[in-house]
Structure 1
Amino acid sequence: MKARYQYRFYPTDQQRQSLAQLFGCVRVVWNDALFFCKQSEKLPGYNKLSAMLTAAKKTEDRKWLSEVSSVPLQQSLRNLDIAYRNFFNSRNGKRKGSKMGAPRFKKKSNQQSAEFTKAAFSVKDGVVYLAKIGNLKPILSRELPCEPSSCTVIKDCANRYFLSFVVEVEPIQVDAKNQSIGIDLGIKTFAVMSNGQKAQSPDYSKQDRKIRKLQRKLAKQQKDSKRRNRIRIKIAKLHNQIADTRKDFLHKLSTKVVSENQTIILEDLNVSGMVKNRKLARVISLQGWREFRVLCEAKSEKLSRTFHTINRWEPTSQICSDCGFKWGKLDLSIRSVLCLNCGTEQDRDENAAKNIEMVGMGHRHDLKRTLSDCKTTFVAGCCEPSRITDLEGR
């Protein structure tokens, strides 16, 4: 399986200028090819786009494209061809997942990248050589497991530089402590495990308030002004702080979950539908539920684990995990429920996590209820205790 290793580096002034020229050439080649594709009746393939690039280098307007390495320019055309293929396959139903949009033009203010293949870069003694750029010294936080097949140099919106390598790794055989675990994802508590453990997400509210304040300020600035650009970079740095904090938390949590359990079971959440609620959209987007699922799935493959997702329509929060009695829909403010069938007081999230594990492992919700002698009515009598015991977490 393939894995990506990313390292940060700090270029010199000369290298910074060379990288800016490279990013600009890659962006121009992509935009020119995309404009030609939009004007053509039939989509041109990579071979025709490559011939156009060769011809453009001989013209007066585009002769400066020869000053940078040709490999990233050719890779930009390959990426455009792949993007169009994915777009058409997604539209025709040949590609799984959500519908993809058509390729768009690249902007100078967005993240910049250039991809080098084996012929245009080399790694030796912690120094990376890029064609027509020179030697770069990334901060190697960990060694590369093998020779990389490609190298991508990246400049993000906050003017940080990274080197990203694609390497081939072998699955690792590690014995798991537990057989299976179900995980219920939430907002207040990020993850509640079926074994009773809980994981609290970091607090992003401080950076989020600063971002909202700066965004209001940005809307009042004149377009393409220096002051607007300074505020844009400040916003990008705050976004990076949130993203880095979230990524660190999700990596540590997913590594712990996957390394300790043989089977990991999550619920297939409809995140795109949930963010349509304007009151919860911003909080849900900050959690990173989809990113956590992707990390668990990738690390499960790496450690030879089993990863499952259950149907989003499973009533995991409406059924008692001990006896299988269905008490129906509950308001989000209700955090604890007293089951009238077995008399067990259930925490809402922990009960849902246990049900997720049972459904994912192939057990029925009402397995224990079939053996129960207790009879319960759907409506509680006047002398019966209420099944709702805790409101608003109190």
Structure 2
Amino acid sequence: MTIVRYRYRAYPGPGQVQALARAFGCARVGFNDTLRARDEVYAAGERIGDTDVQRRVVTLAKQTPEGFGVTPRGVRAAKVGVLRLAWSRALPSVPSSATVIRQADGRYYVSFVVSFVVDVVDVPFPVVDAEVGLDPGLGRLATLSSGEIVANPRPLRSRHRGLARARRALARRRKESVNRRKAVRRVAVEHRKAREARRDHHHTLAARLVRDSRAVHVEGQRQVAAGRKDGAATPRRAGMVDACGADVRPGPVRAAGRETGTHRGAA
């Protein structure tokens, strides 16, 4: 039995956007109440467990009926209605939970948790005997044992001009204003485009390595030296973020792990 998440793009209507904003506000209030309860108990010299926190805060906050249901159009949520989803692929089984996510760029997503039995006999890729070694880097995204050099597309650097323009516009906006919220969204859009370009490049390379190789051997790296101990940004750390994203592990290695989860193993 395997438990995985499936995420789909959601397109809420104007009324649903307001309903979701109220739901997010209630969740934020519950989170703040939980922190306050823990702080009060800690100041009194006592300890409180998760069950007690749920009894004091979460149970009191859940005064409205909950639940969801999957429909051909999308997902039906309590007090929100049917959220229209872009069904890019079918769910393998009935989901056990659904989470609505709003990102900084204004896009909405719904994440489902599903459990199903994976048929390990079904191998979509043909069996091969070749193996490949991968040396991750920054100037070069990866150097393969076959001599192939995979260039680093540097998606964040390629969008530097647009991102700098959006950040300058954000710095000029007055706090708590509508224009500032729009400027924040423009900055988030630039980061999203760079993130999607980086992810697509990583998964394309990982799929090719998994398809053409029986095993992928990765040379280890010390990622601690990427930045100073105080956490300040350095050119090397900026290059690592541009190549790997938020996770300091090499992007192709991270993507290959997802690919091999349903196909073949990697070393």
Relative to the length of structure 1, the TM-score reads 0.58
Shift of 1:244: 1.1
Question: Which of these residues, 241, 249, 255, is aligned with residue 285 of structure 1?
Answer: 241
In structure 2, the CA distance between the partners of 1:302 and 1:43, relative to structure 1 (3 Å rule), is farther
Q: Which residue matches 2:177?
A: 225
RMSD of aligned C-alpha atoms? 2.4
| TM superposition shift of 1:56 | 4.5
Return 5+ residue gaps in structure 1 as ranges.
58-64, 71-119, 309-394
Residue by residue over 1:234-292, the C-alpha shift from the partner in whole angstroms, topping out at 9 and shown as x without a partner, is 10110111111111111222122122222111123233431447122222201116243
Compared CA separation, residues 257 and 168, structure 1 to 2 (3 A):
farther
Distance 2:84 2:167 in 1: 35
User: For 1:14 and 1:140, how far apart are their aligned partners in 2?
Assistant: 22
Aligned to 2:29: 28
Q: Distance in 1 between matches of 2:9 and 2:177?
A: 29
Aligned residue runs from structure 1 range 1-394, under 5 A: 1-41=2-42, 42-53=46-57, 56-57=60-61, 66=63, 68-70=64-66, 120-169=67-116, 170=118, 171=120, 172-173=122-123, 174-204=125-155, 205-276=157-228, 278-288=234-244, 290=249, 291-305=251-265, 307-308=266-267
Unaligned runs of 5+ in 2: none
Contact conserved, 2:154 with 2:242, CA < 8 A, in 1? no
Cα distance in 2 for residues equivalent to 1:160 and 1:138: 12
What's the CA shift string for 1:171-224, capped at 9, x where partnerless? 453443243211111223212211233333334223223223433443444332
SS in 1 for 2:235: coil
Q: Deviations over 1:44-71 (max 9, x none)?
A: 22322222236745xxxxxxx63x545x
Counterparts of 1:250 and 1:244 in 2: how far apart (Å)?
Answer: 10
Structure with larger Rg: 1
1:275–1:284 Cα contact (<8 Å) kept: no
**CA 145–196 in structure 1, closer or farther in 2 if over 3 Å, else same:** farther
Asked if the contact 1:127/1:137 (under 8 Å) is kept, the reply is yes
Task: Write the distance in 2 (CA, Å) between the matches of 1:56 and 1:143.
Answer: 36
SS in 2 for 1:137: strand
Q: Does 1 or 2 have the higher relative contact order (CA < 8 Å, sep 6+)?
A: 2
Letter in 2 for 1:210: G
Is contact 2:133-2:218 (8 Å) kept? yes
Distance 2:174 2:73 in 1: 44
Structure 1 residues 69 and 285: CA distance shift in structure 2, 3 A: farther
**Residue correspondences, number:** 250
Are the structure 2 counterparts of residues 190 and 31 from structure 1 closer, same or farther at C-alpha, using a change threshold of 3 Å? same
- Contact 1:275–1:285 (CA under 8 A) maintained in structure 2: no
Q: CA separation in 1, counterparts of 2:161 and 2:224?
A: 23
